Amino acid sequence: MADEVRVVIADDADLVTARAEARAMAERLGFPRPDPTLIATAISEIARNIVVHSGGGEIVLKPLEDANRYGLMVIATDAGPGIRDVEAALRDDYSGRGGLGLGLPGARRLMDEFAVVSQTGRGTTITMTMWCKEGQR
């Protein structure tokens, strides 16, 4: 199984890297179309969230495998101010600083699993996963 990939997210050039790395890993793992594009798009949103709201963080791309399926897990962490109301941030009408509120609910719709853990003043961790059943490979 492929190793995990770590991408440091500090400025908008790192979004380009994160998108490319995500697509490369999804393709390497054998995800069918359009999944690599969906994953790359979701990563772009959460990477931008890190740049705009916290100034920096990192994204880890992790291959997963269990008995009858494989997947790609994305863990995005930052040490920024945190999201005060996570429920609200995941609603479509929410618009945080810079009007980027669309990003999180959109990214959630692209992935199979999506979880946000945030502590005010300590940072945010977003974990999202896309699964692929063996039969689809």
Give the Cα-Cα-Cα angle 25, 52, 10 (nearest 5 degrees): 55
66 or 93: whose CB is closer to another protein? 93
68 or 97: whose CB is closer to another protein? 97
33 or 97: whose CB is closer to another protein? 33
Cα-based torsion angle of the residue sequence 111, 63, 57, 54 in order, rounded to the nearest 10 degrees: 10
Cβ 107 vs Cβ 46: under 8 Å: yes
Q: How far is the CB of 11 from another protein (least distance, A)?
A: 8
Helix, strand, coil percentages in the chain from 3-state DSSP, rounded to 5: 40, 30, 30
Q: How far is the CB of 53 from another protein (least distance, A)?
A: 14
37 or 125: whose CB is closer to another protein? 37
Q: How far is the CB of 119 from another protein (least distance, A)?
A: 25
Interface residues with another protein (CB under 8 A) are: 12-13, 15-16, 19-20, 23, 33-34, 36-38, 40-41, 44-45, 48, 92, 100, 102-103, 106-107, 109-110
Cβ 72 vs Cβ 62: under 8 Å: yes
Alpha carbon distance 88, 52 (integer Å): 18
Q: How far is the CB of 118 from another protein (least distance, A)?
A: 20
